[in-house]
Structure 1
Amino acid sequence: MLQNYLKIALRNLRINRTYTILNVAGLSMGMTGAILIFLFLQNHLSTDRHQPGFDRLYRLVLNLHLDEGIEYSSDTSVPLAGALAMDYSQIEKVGFIKKIPVATLLSIYQNETRRFTEKENVVFADQGFMEIFKFNVLEGNLNGIMKEPYAAVISEKVARKYFGLTNVVGKILRLDNATDLRIAGVLKESQNPTDLKFDVYISLPTIKKIEPAYDLDNFGWLSSRNQIFIRLVPGADFKSVEKLIKTNGTKYYAETARYYEHKLQPLSEVHFDERYGGKIRRPILIILVVVGLFLLFIACINFINLATAQAIKRAKEIGVRKVLGSTRRQLFWQFMSETALLTLFSAFVTLLLVALLLPVLNNWTQTQDFYFGMVFQLQFLFCWSLTILSVIPIAGFYPAVIISGFNPITALKGKLGTKQIGGLGLRRSLIVAQLLIAQILVIGTLVLILQLKYFKNADLGFDQNAVLTVQLPNKNSKQKINGSLRNSLLQFADIKSVAYQYEAPTSSMGFGGQVKFDKSADWEKFVIRERYGDENYISTYKMKLIAGRSFTDRDSLKEFVVNEELMFKLGITDPQKVLGKMLNTGMGDLKGRIVGVVKSFHLKSLQVAVEPCVIFAKPAQYKEIAIKLNTKDFGKTIRNIQAVWQKDYPDDVFSYQFVDEQIAKFYEKEEQLTTLIRSFALIAILICCLGLYGMVSFMVTQRTKEIGVRKVLGAGVESIVLLFGKEFLILVLVAFLIAAPVGCYFASHWLTNFAYRIDLKWWIPASGCLIILVITLLTIGFKVIKASLMNPVKSLRME
């Protein structure tokens, strides 16, 4: 019996090629979108879950309690790791890493020197870190190697990059042209998603050898570059450990302990908690789950509409089968077998599309986490199979019930009405549902695009355009601040200004603390941020001085420039009243005089509000030079800069980046979300187009004779097009009346995550409606015009 079902199903699908192609296209697009979303979710939800003892792993984070609220960070200090390991029996192992933002590494192999600048992938690590987490060792041995100075463990990728092979244990990498590191191990590349992947691990004791003055015992020296990871003993309660750490706060922080509250963040939350630097928020994943379900739902709606439209053409076939003895049950399973075949074929097309689109997904997410082998993993195959088993009954049940219930006499006479094939009302409702989902996705896409555009075009309070930053070597301050380099660069007519700095005004730089103002003996109740640059810093970025002047770089009395926000926090509205006043910064206990006030500027992304800030010279912290350009030939200018730079630093790697590119990185998450939603909205629209085509096909088939009569009575093509267009216009407007408030509600809720955001104006949902309306009219237009041009004699002969 099953063989007979499949044989007939294959024959019907082959005969009705258009119907088959449309259904396969709709189902495969919906399933492809849903599977890609699944892969994206799987990647995020499985981050670091491969680590042994995952449920006992935690990261130490900090809630800094200030008078104006709580600041959340993952800042820790070096000695705290050792203290935790000694003080608490509930802690089985403690691991510490210290990130190096930029490092220059050099190798000499077979008389060939290879030198590269490494960013964000080099860390100092202790032995505990190497023991807490799982590393697949390709060469060497990790036992005890991080306890001795000058040892390094590198990834397979770095080994090939610097030496061209992986058997490099015992060879030397030179750090910043000053420190030789002995390679003690090489790690295999892992395909497991992780937030803890680095390419070079340097033993922690090496810090003291590189910088003898580095204080490894200062608990108050907190840094966002430091991270502490903890593995508890089996059965230990992390909440009780948190309480003990808080109780012992005075041991670590003395009289300032009341400000510090350390929390144990489960490793399962590290990836998702943006307060402490997480990569993505869980609500975004929920949004994508809903989008994936929407895609499958509208694909099933599309199938139902096409199937019921096709039912009229198969009416006589069903009538003949019933007359010859086929039961309703047999016909039901016959149609379900056709649905199963279509779904299975669509599923295999989906596999091909997913495999082809994995590089695109990597491009969307700016990662290399998605690879062809994922389609053979059990989790993927389970999701793929579950999708197939879900689509078959959802898409096939209703059409199977309707078609198998045809009255054979009515079917053979060709007099099936809308009631016999399910009624227009239901199909119109399904079309409205499709249009509703499409409009919500389009509204969401428009809001994402507009907010992202607002981020990129907003006035940050300084001029970041055509400002190039060049990374300075990791040398002492006297070597880095080379006056001849500045003078040589300024000889070029297309270079307007050069400034030494730590980072640009808008950056991830988090230095700061409390201040004392004027003659006050008490620290102010708010926290300020600091920006470090030389006396050309303000002019290079064209920051707007509203009072006073820029600071000068002098060894005697320190000079400060503050922003308006700091002035307002002090309760002063007239900038002249802060000039000449003394300021004492808690960070480094620096004292100096305020000599200028600049208009407030954004220190971080527009997701957070403007903060009070002080700008001053701190040569020991400079790690970049900022170069203001005025040229159309950027390539030539950069080559000139490199030539001058290489003369002063012949043994270092020239590395540059434009400031606006650095700022754009703040919005990578929003960029990714916009790309994903925009792509899936396009898929939804394409599926809707297929559904609309099915609906108009059904309507044209039902009203062929009516069209003929109208033409005989003098109706023109435009009136017939208007007849059908009016109905679809109503469907689009009905969907809009629901989609507009729903879409705006969720869009406004999402926008509350940003301190600075667009206004959700009426034209945004209206534009979404207009887009869908135009697409709808274009979709149905071809079929309706073709029907209206048909010879009315042929239409009436069908009676």
Structure 2
Amino acid sequence: MWRNYLSAALRNLSRNRLYAAINIVGLAIGLAAGIFAGLYVREELSYERFIPGHESIYRVSMTRQVPGAPAAAFSTAYHRVSEWLESDFPEIQASSRLWIVRTAVRHGEFEAQQSVGFADRDFFRVFALPAIAGDLATALSTPDGIVLTRQAARKYFGEDMPIGKTLELDRSAVMRVTAVIEDLPSNTHLNFTVIASNARLLQELQPLPEFNVRKFEAHTYFSLDPATSLQSLRERMTGLIDRHQKFPPGIQLQVDVLPIDDIHLKSSAQFPLEPPGDLKTVYAIAAVGILIVLIAGINFVNLMTSRASQRAVEVGVRKAAGASRRDLVLQFIGESLIHVTIAMLVAVAAVELLMPYFNALLDRSLSGDPTATIQFEYWRDPMLALALVAAVLIIGLAAGFYPAMVLSAFRPIDTLKTGIVRSAGSFTVRQLLVVLQFGVLVLLILATAVIHRQTQFALNEGLRIDRNQVLLVSFRDARTRQGFQEALREVAGVEAVTSSHTAPTNRGTIQLTAERAGGSPAALQFTPVDFNFHEFYGLQPLAGRLFSRERGTDAVPANATSAVASGDGAAQLALIVNEATVRTLGFATPDAAVGQILKIKEWSPDLQYSIVGVIPDFPVDSIRVAVQPTVYFVDQNRLSMISARLNGRAIPETLTQINRLWQRIGEPRPIESQFLDEYYGLLYTDVRQQARLFNGFTVIALIIASLGLFGLSVFSAQQRTKEVGIRKAMGAGTQEIMRLLLWQFLRPVLIAIVLALPLGAWLMQRWLSGFAQRASIEAWLLIAAGAVVVLIGALTVAAHVILVARWRPAAALRYE
């Protein structure tokens, strides 16, 4: 019996090659998309799961609340929180701080700039990472201890176990390799390949004021006794900072903890080690993958039920020969499983071939590191292999059940008498399935358009600064910077130069407490800049003026070590603020802020700080975060970043000249430069990846839906051939027939548009609500999405509709 069923299934596939091809190709494309979506979702949900004991590891975060401003959450904590946690809570087994610093690393003649982690001696007690060589328990116990990943060991030493050999950090600290660990996979927020003892770094921090921003940049982790209640710990941590340290009045600091498993997808805190993901987007990608497989399944159901009448005689004969309905249901579900199995084999082959392109789509293959790519190794991953087999069974059974019930329900007497049976209700079901199919397509097209629009907004008009061809060069020594900056102005290809502390990003700004006359203290971000900083970035004042070299009070005096000291003959210091500062300090308008005097607690009380201008808000970090109240002042002693605008012509030659200039008069370390476009591109890596994924999935959904509609149009046109002949014989013209057939096929598409557009607009509005600055969803965008779907539907069936409408009546009437 089973051999007979298999023979009938293969014979049916061979006899109906067009429909079999549409079914298998559509299913294969849908399954491949589902596999890609599943791999992406699994990767996003698996962050930190490779770390032994990850369930008991937590990160300390800090929330700062100041009067007149919303609470700000940071992924870092005050540097002494680690020791307070260990002293106050015995259930904390180990804790460690982590600083990530960009510095030069040298071995022999080879030197490179890279991110280096500086951590406490107990770091590897918290993170029990696998060691290749050395003892991680004592690896960071000495001030010169340094641990490398396998990749870093090969990079600097050309071997896997360089234990005892030395590296030089920042051309000043000689470090001894004490251990080597395995390369960290891509699904972690720990973005280092070199981690060193923080003893020297702590010595540098000692002379800094207690309320200095650098001391807030420690990422703090601890491992907790698994028997401890996290909720109880959180309650007892309330007021931890206030119990140990007093900060300026009006500033409230609270600490909280977050499981490391949740850092990637459930943290919106500022200054993360890695750009976070978005849990809503992960769910959306999972839903899209399921919907695309659903679309492919809908095609299968539609084509199987639409061709039910073609197999009516076969069903009648089998029933007359004694086959029960159960036997027929098993036969047709078996055929469905054969279709899905073939489609899955094709899909798996396609995924294997396309994996390099998929990783490139997600920027995972740029480093050339295999640990950074998503793998599709089902032969090594039993769970993945089991998932593929389960998908075949579930999809095969689900997609084959309804067609099997329809086909097995035919009565032998009807099928053997006429050979043709019209399946009651099947046409309505097919119409509903087409509505669902194109409704999903509408949602995907709208989502793709909105995500693309938001991406362009984030990288262009949302920035509100002129970032075109801006090269950033980092410095350590202010005197060297000044000489390099002056020489840089003479380089051919360089149009303009300015400098600042962290231009124009928010990393490393100074957090100070300011107060206007009659107002409350407020925590503001203070950023040192050069005189022409705002002109360089195309920022015009909303009120007041910009800095000027001709005004003696527009800069910290040259003989002052910083803005804390006033220097001789200085009566005041000019400040430029953004709109967020105006709101935070309680000024009604930008004009009302100009000329006002601020008191800054941490700086000299003898020096007046006067607001001379107000500039527009512009995001210096991700547009997911509200623009922070920022104050700009001129202090040549604090500038460590040069911004050079290139003219865009002969850029490689210009960069070569800049490198030569660096070697001649720059610092001895390798030049550290980056285009501003690259920085903002990294900020929105996740948004750009989402845009690419939705672009790809939309194209796939479009292909599958078009294949299904084409298959239905071919079969439906064949079914209505006689009707077309009669209509033409009665005088109907070609255009009238075309309108009739097009309306039949486009009606469910139009219904799908009407139903899906409001839902899509609501869903994308919710997605956009995750951004502090965002583009709007305008009416034309909805209309365009609907028009694209109508056009796709019309083009899919147009060729066949035209062919049928032009048949001669005699040929059409002879068809049946």
TM above 0.5, one fold? yes
Gaps of 5+ in 1: none
User: Mapping of 1:724-739 within 5 angstroms?
Assistant: 724-739=741-756
User: Mapping of 1:373-522 within 5 angstroms?
Assistant: 373=377, 376-414=380-418, 416-420=420-424, 422-458=425-461, 460-472=463-475, 475-478=476-479, 480-483=480-483, 485-492=484-491, 494-509=493-508, 511-517=510-516
Q: Is 2:342 the partner of 1:348?
A: no
Summarize deviations over 1:53-72 as a string: whole Å, max 9, x none: 22222111112232333211
Q: Specify the SS of the correspondent of 1:720.
A: helix
Deviation at 1:523, TM superposition (A): 4.9
Deviation at 1:564, TM superposition (A): 4.0
Summarize deviations over 1:541-588 as a string: whole Å, max 9, x none: 232134244133523344422234423443445767655654344566
Aligned to 1:783: 800
Aligned to 1:250: 242
Q: 1:390 to 1:592 in 2, by over 3 A?
A: farther
2:138 to 131, 144, 167: 144
Q: Is 2:189 the partner of 1:189?
A: no
Deviation at 1:676, TM superposition (A): 1.6
Work out the CA distance in 1 between the residues paired with 2:386 and 2:539. 57
User: Mapping of 1:326-725 within 5 angstroms?
Assistant: 326-367=323-364, 368-373=372-377, 376-414=380-418, 416-420=420-424, 422-458=425-461, 460-472=463-475, 475-478=476-479, 480-483=480-483, 485-492=484-491, 494-509=493-508, 511-517=510-516, 523-524=520-521, 526-545=522-541, 546-550=543-547, 551-554=554-557, 555=560, 556=567, 557=570, 558-572=573-587, 581-586=596-601, 592-594=608-610, 596-602=612-618, 603-619=620-636, 621-649=638-666, 651-725=668-742
1:169 to 163, 167, 171: 163
Q: Is 2:107 the partner of 1:107?
A: yes
Work out the CA distance in 2 between the residues paired with 1:568 and 1:195. 35
Q: 1:213 to 1:570 in 2, by over 3 A?
A: closer
Q: Specify the SS of the correspondent of 2:725.
A: helix
Aligned to 1:269: 262
Q: 1:677 to 1:508 in 2, by over 3 A?
A: farther
Summarize deviations over 1:466-525 as a string: whole Å, max 9, x none: 2211122xx4444x4332x2222112354232222222234445542320235x6x752x
Work out the CA distance in 2 between the residues paired with 1:610 and 1:255. 24
> Contact between 1:560 and 1:596, CA under 8 Å: does it hold in 2?
yes
Work out the CA distance in 1 between the residues paired with 2:178 and 2:378. 32
1:239 to 231, 251, 260: 231
Q: Specify the SS of the correspondent of 1:174.
A: strand
Gaps of 5+ in 2: 365-371, 548-553, 561-566
2:308 to 311, 331, 348: 311
Summarize deviations over 1:607-664 as a string: whole Å, max 9, x none: 3444322112345543321112334332222222222122123632233222233223
Work out the CA distance in 1 between the residues paired with 2:242 and 2:681. 41
Work out the CA distance in 2 between the residues paired with 1:174 and 1:378. 44
Opposite residue 273 of structure 1, the aligned amino acid is K
Opposite residue 91 of structure 1, the aligned amino acid is I
Work out the CA distance in 2 between the residues paired with 1:66 and 1:207. 29
Work out the CA distance in 2 between the residues paired with 1:219 and 1:239. 29
Q: 1:620 to 1:162 in 2, by over 3 A?
A: farther
Q: Specify the SS of the correspondent of 1:697.
A: helix
User: Mapping of 1:221-240 within 5 angstroms?
Assistant: 223=215, 225-240=217-232
> Contact between 2:171 and 2:669, CA under 8 Å: does it hold in 1?
yes
Deviation at 1:220, TM superposition (A): 7.0
Work out the CA distance in 2 between the residues paired with 1:577 and 1:798. 85
Work out the CA distance in 1 between the residues paired with 2:198 and 2:720. 80
Q: Specify the SS of the correspondent of 2:178.
A: strand
Deviation at 1:762, TM superposition (A): 1.9
Summarize deviations over 1:111-162 as a string: whole Å, max 9, x none: xx212111xx311011211111132212222221212112110111112222
> Contact between 2:312 and 2:410, CA under 8 Å: does it hold in 1?
yes
Aligned to 1:87: 88
> Contact between 1:156 and 1:166, CA under 8 Å: does it hold in 2?
yes
Q: 1:197 to 1:565 in 2, by over 3 A?
A: closer
Aligned to 1:759: 776
Deviation at 1:346, TM superposition (A): 1.1
Work out the CA distance in 2 between the residues paired with 1:743 and 1:248. 45
Q: Specify the SS of the correspondent of 1:338.
A: helix
Q: Is 2:39 the partner of 1:35?
A: no
Q: 1:575 to 1:197 in 2, by over 3 A?
A: closer
Q: Specify the SS of the correspondent of 1:145.
A: coil
> Contact between 1:470 and 1:624, CA under 8 Å: does it hold in 2?
yes
Indicate the larger mover: 34-43 or 618-627: 618-627
Indicate the larger mover: 362-371 or 386-395: 362-371
Q: Specify the SS of the correspondent of 2:617.
A: coil
Work out the CA distance in 1 between the residues paired with 2:148 and 2:789. 53
Summarize deviations over 1:380-410 as a string: whole Å, max 9, x none: 2232222212211211011111112223343
Q: 1:208 to 1:752 in 2, by over 3 A?
A: closer
> Contact between 2:467 and 2:677, CA under 8 Å: does it hold in 1?
yes
Q: 1:220 to 1:661 in 2, by over 3 A?
A: closer
Work out the CA distance in 1 between the residues paired with 2:104 and 2:77. 25
Q: 1:15 to 1:82 in 2, by over 3 A?
A: same
> Contact between 1:565 and 1:610, CA under 8 Å: does it hold in 2?
yes
Opposite residue 178 of structure 2, the aligned amino acid is A
Aligned to 1:57: 57
Work out the CA distance in 2 between the residues paired with 1:374 and 1:226. 40
Q: Specify the SS of the correspondent of 1:482.
A: helix
Q: 1:264 to 1:403 in 2, by over 3 A?
A: same
Indicate the larger mover: 565-574 or 770-779: 565-574
Work out the CA distance in 2 between the residues paired with 1:205 and 1:3. 75
Aligned length: 782
Work out the CA distance in 2 between the residues paired with 1:82 and 1:736. 59
Work out the CA distance in 2 between the residues paired with 1:459 and 1:749. 19
Deviation at 1:790, TM superposition (A): 4.3
Deviation at 1:189, TM superposition (A): 2.0
Work out the CA distance in 1 between the residues paired with 2:247 and 2:584. 25
Deviation at 1:714, TM superposition (A): 4.7
Alignment RMSD (CA, Å) = 2.7
- Over the matched positions of the two proteins, sequence identity in percent amounts to 27
Work out the CA distance in 1 between the residues paired with 2:808 and 2:210. 92
TM-score by length of 2: 0.90
Work out the CA distance in 2 between the residues paired with 1:146 and 1:229. 16
Q: Specify the SS of the correspondent of 2:544.
A: strand
Aligned to 1:126: 120
Aligned to 2:367: none
Aligned to 2:6: 6
Work out the CA distance in 2 between the residues paired with 1:494 and 1:596. 34
Work out the CA distance in 2 between the residues paired with 1:399 and 1:379. 31
Q: Specify the SS of the correspondent of 1:514.
A: strand
